[in-house]
Amino acid sequence: MSVGDLDNLNSSQQEALGKLMTSLSDVTLPERDERYFLRWLRAVKFDVHKAEDRLRKHAELRKELGADTILTDWTPPEVLTKYAPTGLFGEDRDGHPVYYDGFGNLDMKGIKLVMLTAQHYPGIENHIIFIKAPRVFPFAFGIVKHLIDETKQSKFVLLGANWREEILQYISPEQLPQVYGGTRCEPDPACSNFVSPFRKINMGGDVPPEYYLTNSTQTNKEDMERLVVSRGSSHNLEFPVEIPGTSIRWELITIDHDIGFGWFQKFEAAANDLSELIPVKRTNSHVVPERGVLQCSSPGIYVMKFDNSYSWTRSKEVYYSVKMDPPDSEPRGQEV
């Protein structure tokens, strides 16, 4: 049974479906048919309030990412189209398209990507097949699987050492590239040079130097403060502001890995309650320096937060610079 199958719904389930569709009449969604809403309901066992909450958060994410117009407004950079280890190719034995994603040495980041898919795209997959997963994967997945609904969990397939033979239960040889045990695309075993750009698999590889960031985007970390944020933790830096209209300018880079970053305000030094100014989001500051300006409309203590709570295996090395500009001053700033 498909999670979008409208047959065999009992009266309470039909009522829940109607309530969900009515409650979200004010939200812009990519689809509005009953099957779409039913997928979200089944993911939370027909809890209307949970489904509504998830859908509202999903709509906010789509708006933030510009998902409704991304196909016309955004062109992927060449380095991404050539070297991102992903691709859509062939069909499984049930006729569903097969998407390949090369997580590489799968760690918590890879698992969190699966969880993100589960949260925002319920019921779209037939199976989620893992091959060549590291030994730590079953342990790591066991820790977080309670965050994924049972329907999604039932679709996970972890193949063992004989994965080349086992995968043929799900995808026939003529639909499977040779590199994965099939017979397609001879003499191109990875199907990386197939005719259609949307029906091929990029195998990744080393990115050529011409795609690297230019020197103009680099920051001299010798002029910055250094901070190490331990794995699974966060760190706050406090900057007192006495004059309304003061501007806080910041710049930060990380070494090799991303970091969560955001700004908050509190009005008393001993207070624990923080007012969110810039939400904490993971930033690729190991690729491009993160820079910004915060306008302080009122006095208080402004808190710069580095969040590494999502990383259970890596500490993060951060270099940062913070400068404060009084109102109506030249934008040189005073380092604090």
Tell me the DSSP string of 141-161: HHHHGGGS-HHHHTTEEE--T
Look at residue 329 in the predicted model and tell me its pLDDT.
59
Look at residue 335 in the predicted model and tell me its pLDDT.
40
Nearest 5°: the CA angle 41, 42, 45 is: 90
Q: How far is CA 13 from CA 24, 48, 166, in A?
A: 17, 10, 37
Diameter of the chain measured on Cα atoms: 70
Gap between the Cα atoms of 254 and 287, Å rounded: 8
Gap between the Cα atoms of 176 and 181, Å rounded: 7
Residue with tokens 């991404």: 80
Look at residue 178 in the predicted model and tell me its pLDDT.
86
Look at residue 185 in the predicted model and tell me its pLDDT.
79
Look at residue 37 in the predicted model and tell me its pLDDT.
94
Q: Which of 246, 265, 251 is nearest to 324 (CA)?
A: 246
Residues of the chain whose pLDDT is less than 50?
1, 105, 195-198, 214-217, 331-336
Query: What single-letter DSSP state applies at residue 283?
Result: E
Q: What is the pTM of this model?
A: 0.56
Query: What single-letter DSSP state applies at residue 184?
Result: B
Query: What single-letter DSSP state applies at residue 268?
Result: S
Look at residue 333 in the predicted model and tell me its pLDDT.
39
Q: Which of 65, 54, 3 is nearest to 27 (CA)?
A: 54
Look at residue 219 in the predicted model and tell me its pLDDT.
61
The string over 48-80, giving b where at least 16 C-beta atoms fall within 10 Å of a residue's C-beta and e elsewhere, is beebbebbeebbeebeeeeeeeeeeeeeeeeee
For 109-147, what is each residue's pLDDT tens digit? 556 666 677 778 888 888 989 888 777 777 777 777 777
CB 24 within 8 A of CB 56: yes
- Residues pairing with 226 in the sheet: 319
Name the 3-class secondary structure at 255.
coil
Look at residue 332 in the predicted model and tell me its pLDDT.
43
Look at residue 289 in the predicted model and tell me its pLDDT.
86
